[in-house]
Structure 1
Amino acid sequence: MRKYLAFLGDRPALSSLLACVGFSIWSLLLGQDNNWDLRNYHLYNAFAWLNDRVGSDMAPAGMESYFNPLMDLPYYWITRHWSAPAAGLILGAWHGLTFAVLCIIAINVLEQSGYAQPRRLGVALALAGTLTPNFLENMGTSMGDNSVALFSIAALAIIVRSWPRLMTGHATWALAGAGMLAGIACGIKLTNAMYALAFCLSFLFAPLTVVKRLRLVVVFGLAAALGMSLAAGWWWIRLWQTFGNPFFPQFAQWFPNDWSTPVNVADDLGVMRPGLPATQGALRWLPKSAFEYLLWPFVFSIHGRRLGDFTAHPLLWPVTYLLFIALGVVYLKRRGAARQLSPDVRPLSPVAIYMLAFMAIAYVLWMRLFSIYRYTGPIEVLMPLAIWMLLHRLLSQSLARTVAIWTLCLTLFLSNVISQKSWGHEPWAKEAFRVDVPSVQQTGTATVLIMSQPVAWILPWFPKPLAAAAVNANFPADVGYWKDLSALLDKRGGEIYAIVGGDKSWRADKLLRVQKFNAFMETLGATDHAYICDRMKSLVGKVSSQATVVDVAAGASKGERCAVALKPEVDSGEQADIARQLKEANQALNQIGLRLDGATCKTYDAYMGQGYFPYQWCQVARL
């Protein structure tokens, strides 16, 4: 085994190819992506841009209806033209390229820092980077965090590979290329702006004169601005022409618009209130006190839901944070005492200092602006390399190696075991998405109102002339929005419909599991025996509140005496949820002079892979 690992370690290109293949297979094994953002806006945004619906529809996917659709176009096109598993394979391969880029970073940083066997060590640390919880939770998903983070870490790879020449005033085009990639990441997804800024500021730590440092900052910054303009300028122009705000509805306090209340980029947008301004949101993910700001990595590692709607315990963070603090203490102590480094301690090279400065600055910006775990990809994948180098700076070489290996193995293993595994997947079907669409008369004048979120993913399957508008979504709607919605309904003058529900049918999901279990037990012939049936009744009664074991009528199946079935209250509970959603939808419509015609409501089927997401289609009348 060690022989084969050494062989792969000496050949990072081959290891990178195998990583892409491996992550493609992993993505395929995970199944069809069904994350909340995909159901909300990733499909809709690509569809809306391709069919020129920006400005004609009214926020059917909430505020995300106006995010740059560039990131969503490849996935939308692939799933509409190719089989669903092909999309999974391609996503996995793209995400697997992260390993190749990390190899470039690690090998170059280690080599310039004087480590022995930098290729083998770099490949191992790159592998550790792709086994971090944040990377794995986004593997094979369309959420875009892994996909776009690749541009940011590719920018860092170019910088560290060109570092010796940058320090001598050369490699300007390489620096510009890195800036372009960082800018593209920012343009595709605005949250990556903090990484572009961190790259710029980290050049101030380069061992150069102030003028030369500023030159690096300016070249990188201008290139980043160009890359951002190429990736998003066309979209910002479109939003400016339509809404008078290039970032609509974000930064509405600087670019006022009748549709939107004044909100910030990071605001939790509160609650949409039909006919009234939206309630003011709160920055719910940020640290709540000075104490939490000081110990934030420990706080969110212990409390798994402090960084978003995802349970994560990323134990690498407090370890890295402690090592940064220890490095600062050692630096101040040595500086005050004017001591020399111990010969058994490895100093940090300038390129390592740049990388660590980038991580520290990006962390501070992230903590202050967002504190959402998904956005930390470019920081977290570098942590294994950072931990390795910091321990070798603080401890003797022999001790540092042992501590680093055990620390990385334990933190990665425990973090992945106790953290949520993914944002959601379904068993594959040949078609990624299937939607049963109701018959709509005169689609050129009809309007559909979105009463639930996320459900906009089904709109690409509806007739294109049909207009869509949100009544209940995470959009900071002001009074002007409701006036324009009323004007839209009057102008179109046709039938008004409402989409209610659209959540996953957990009853259908449980029923599928029950059917698979019964088929498995029937194959074994286990349910042919009365003793096993009695034991099953006892066990299922203890472990499940929603399932039971029922006797099978004689002759109904091949020798079967019993089978697992769902309790009737599971079905009644789902029906109660639908009734509640219809009632709440009607109350919201009443606030804008409309009512739901409950007698016309009908359930229609929609599928992501084999996951079942039924929705209610109802006619709407004026009061």
Structure 2
Amino acid sequence: MASFYNPTLDLPVYLLAQVLPARGVSFVLSFVQGLNILPLFGLAFALLAPLAAGARLRTLAALLLAVVGFCGAGQLGLLGATFYDNVISLFVLGAAWLVVARADTVWQGRLVAAYSVVGLAGLLVGSAVGLKQPTLPFAVGACFAFLFIAGGLWRRLFLSFFFGIGVIAGMALFSGHWMWHLWTYYQNPLFPYFNDVFRSPWGVPEAYRDDKFIPHGLVASLLFPFTWVMDPKKVGEIIFRDLRVPLAYVVLLATPIIMLALRGRKVPALVDRRAALYVIVGSAITYLVWLKLFAIYRYLIPLEMLAPIVMLAAVALWPLPVKARGGIMLALLVLVSVTGKPGTWARVPFADRFVEVKAPTLPDPDHTIILQTGYAPTSFLITGFPKQIPFLRLHSYFIHPDHGDIKLNQVMRERIAQHQGDFYWLVAHWEVWTAKDILPRYGLAADMDHCQLVTSNLDEPMMLCRVVRQDTSAQPS
């Protein structure tokens, strides 16, 4: 399914991998991901504007918030990895920084200037959505938060409107070309997603959503942040521990209760109230949209990084003495720092090249087709084979012979029927069961006595076996 994702984020890494050793590629990628600390610092510094008289305290507090935000378990687990959730975060955090830094302009300045600021912020978030669609909850949260912050009704509506225009422009800028490609070839600009709406003949009429992590029911949804603390696999594939988002969740729930109970107290401002409310409301809406669309923790990484600032924004509004608010915030930062446990995405030792594949020499690559089945990622191994060899994925999370006469199955069936040369089968050794379940559906059989290994620096050796025809009239049902 990932073959249909917008490849724009992958292109720089691919190009770097052609010219740099593996350590060099990882260094550049990690450096870019490390830049997140800049918008985190800028956002915290801007939010603490009322502390302008204490410049040193303001700087130290902003730096502490940035470092604690950057060192979340999810973010650290992704350093150097190519999921890019901590790359698109640069756009999301940059947009929040821009709005908070220009808070006076946004909520009190000339309309043209205000709409320009939020339009640019929307462009940043829209760019993130264009590069990676699961960033959508952040666009929704940042856009609709304007509706709940102080200001006249029409000003709030137009702030939200122009932010939305910026989002659309950003999406068009970074994914317009790819959406046009998908529409031209597959009649679905988001293929395969939302195919229940677009009805592309290339796939089944389903949404293709991964909704297995989404909690069901009000109680499960309310307790979800605590559920994944107890069992991280409720929100992903790896074991990790991080309290940033769960604690921010608790702080936000407690904030209206505390403010109502202590209403009327006059205390010095520690943050810009409008900016703080924008961060709080935007984060809350983002979380709720994420909860109902994905509930996959990786997609929440920008909010994990933002969580210490969200807690600051909320605690700073509590009508408590300055020292009490400072002490509570410091305790929260210490707690999330000492309890974190980064996960690992099956890291491997560095090889000379970013991806190294050793494949057997095939006797007739000009007249060879290689078939793939199973759920293990094997497409990266294609780089080890001659470029003229086509690969057909007969079975995966995305496609199956049981899908019948969708166009992808039709095209592959025709290619197999018309092919006059050799067939090989590339598969993980733990998925050889697909030899009996999938290959016969195409009139093929694996010759398990003629298998060789395809090795790489990224995974266990995979099997490459000869394939012979059984019955050329067989078709997927």
2:214 maps to 1:291? no
Separation of aligned partners in 1, 2:99 and 2:435: 53
Shift of 1:476: 4.2
2:104 maps to 1:164? yes
2:87 maps to 1:147? yes
Q: Which residue of 1 aligns with 2:474?
A: none
Shift of 1:331: 4.2
- SS of match in other structure, 2:391: strand
Q: Which residue of 2 aligns with 1:369?
A: 293
Shift of 1:321: 1.5
Q: Which residue of 1 aligns with 2:196?
A: 253
Shift of 1:454: 0.7
Separation of aligned partners in 1, 2:276 and 2:288: 19
Residue 127 of structure 1, aligned match among 58, 62, 67: 67
Residue 282 of structure 2, aligned match among 328, 342, 358: 358
Flag the 1:456–1:489 CA change in 2: closer, same or farther, 3 A.
Answer: same
- SS of match in other structure, 2:316: helix
Shift of 1:594: 0.9
Residue 331 of structure 2, aligned match among 397, 402, 406: 406
2:457 maps to 1:607? yes
Q: Which residue of 2 aligns with 1:315?
A: 243
Q: Which residue of 2 aligns with 1:237?
A: 180
2:440 maps to 1:593? no
Q: Which residue of 2 aligns with 1:23?
A: none
Is the 1:99–1:130 Cα contact (8 Å) retained in structure 2?
Answer: yes
AA of the residue aligned to 2:287: Y
- Once the two structures are aligned, what percentage of the paired residues are identical? 25
2:469 maps to 1:622? yes
Shift of 1:92: 1.4
Shift of 1:256: 1.2
2:61 maps to 1:137? no
Is the 1:202–1:357 Cα contact (8 Å) retained in structure 2?
Answer: yes
Shift of 1:377: 1.5
Give the greater-gyration-radius structure (CA).
1
Flag the 1:618–1:400 CA change in 2: closer, same or farther, 3 A.
Answer: same
Q: Which residue of 1 aligns with 2:371?
A: 449
Flag the 1:198–1:581 CA change in 2: closer, same or farther, 3 A.
Answer: closer
Q: Which residue of 2 aligns with 1:428?
A: 350
Is the 2:277–2:313 Cα contact (8 Å) retained in structure 1?
Answer: no
Flag the 1:115–1:325 CA change in 2: closer, same or farther, 3 A.
Answer: farther
Separation of aligned partners in 2, 1:604 and 1:176: 50
In the TM superposition, 1:26-425 aligns within 5 A as: 63-112=1-50, 116=54, 117-167=57-107, 168=109, 169=111, 170-264=113-207, 267-268=209-210, 283-333=211-261, 339-343=263-267, 349-394=273-318, 395-416=320-341, 419-420=342-343, 422-425=344-347
AA of the residue aligned to 2:304: E
Separation of aligned partners in 1, 2:149 and 2:166: 19
Is the 2:48–2:270 Cα contact (8 Å) retained in structure 1?
Answer: no
Number of residue equivalences? 459
Is the 2:51–2:58 Cα contact (8 Å) retained in structure 1?
Answer: no
Is the 1:113–1:348 Cα contact (8 Å) retained in structure 2?
Answer: no
**Residues 513-556 of structure 1: per-residue CA shift (max 9 Å, x gap):** xxxxxxxxxxxxxxxxxxxxxxxxxxxxxxxxxxxxxxxxxxxx
**Residues 386-440 of structure 1: per-residue CA shift (max 9 Å, x gap):** 2233233333221222222122112222122xx52x2122222222222122333
Alignment RMSD, CA only? 2.0
- SS of match in other structure, 1:605: strand
**Residues 48-107 of structure 1: per-residue CA shift (max 9 Å, x gap):** xxxxxxxxxxxxxxx111000001111111112211111111111101110011111000
Shift of 1:187: 0.5
Flag the 1:446–1:347 CA change in 2: closer, same or farther, 3 A.
Answer: closer
Shift of 1:464: 1.9
Shift of 1:442: 4.4
AA of the residue aligned to 1:295: L
AA of the residue aligned to 1:493: Q
**Residues 116-173 of structure 1: per-residue CA shift (max 9 Å, x gap):** 4322211111011011112111111111111111111111111111221122122443
- SS of match in other structure, 1:591: helix
In the TM superposition, 1:538-577 aligns within 5 A as: none
Is the 2:280–2:313 Cα contact (8 Å) retained in structure 1?
Answer: no
Is the 2:273–2:317 Cα contact (8 Å) retained in structure 1?
Answer: no
Separation of aligned partners in 2, 1:161 and 1:96: 21
Is the 1:261–1:476 Cα contact (8 Å) retained in structure 2?
Answer: no
Is the 1:112–1:349 Cα contact (8 Å) retained in structure 2?
Answer: no
Gaps spanning 5+ residues in structure 2: where? 471-477
Flag the 1:383–1:581 CA change in 2: closer, same or farther, 3 A.
Answer: closer
Is the 1:497–1:619 Cα contact (8 Å) retained in structure 2?
Answer: yes
AA of the residue aligned to 1:443: P
Flag the 1:112–1:491 CA change in 2: closer, same or farther, 3 A.
Answer: farther
Residue 500 of structure 1, aligned match among 409, 412, 427: 427
Q: Which residue of 1 aligns with 2:418?
A: 491
Flag the 1:285–1:231 CA change in 2: closer, same or farther, 3 A.
Answer: same
Q: Which residue of 2 aligns with 1:557?
A: none
Is the 1:597–1:621 Cα contact (8 Å) retained in structure 2?
Answer: yes
Separation of aligned partners in 2, 1:256 and 1:438: 41
Separation of aligned partners in 2, 1:235 and 1:450: 25
AA of the residue aligned to 2:65: L
Flag the 1:114–1:204 CA change in 2: closer, same or farther, 3 A.
Answer: farther
Separation of aligned partners in 1, 2:200 and 2:271: 54
Separation of aligned partners in 2, 1:492 and 1:244: 27
Flag the 1:348–1:322 CA change in 2: closer, same or farther, 3 A.
Answer: farther
Separation of aligned partners in 1, 2:169 and 2:366: 40
Separation of aligned partners in 1, 2:288 and 2:48: 25
Separation of aligned partners in 2, 1:425 and 1:204: 44
Is the 1:149–1:378 Cα contact (8 Å) retained in structure 2?
Answer: yes
Report which stretch shifted further, 238-247 or 104-113.
104-113
Shift of 1:346: 5.5
Relative to the length of structure 1, the TM-score reads: 0.70
Shift of 1:342: 3.6
Is the 1:203–1:213 Cα contact (8 Å) retained in structure 2?
Answer: yes
- SS of match in other structure, 1:601: strand
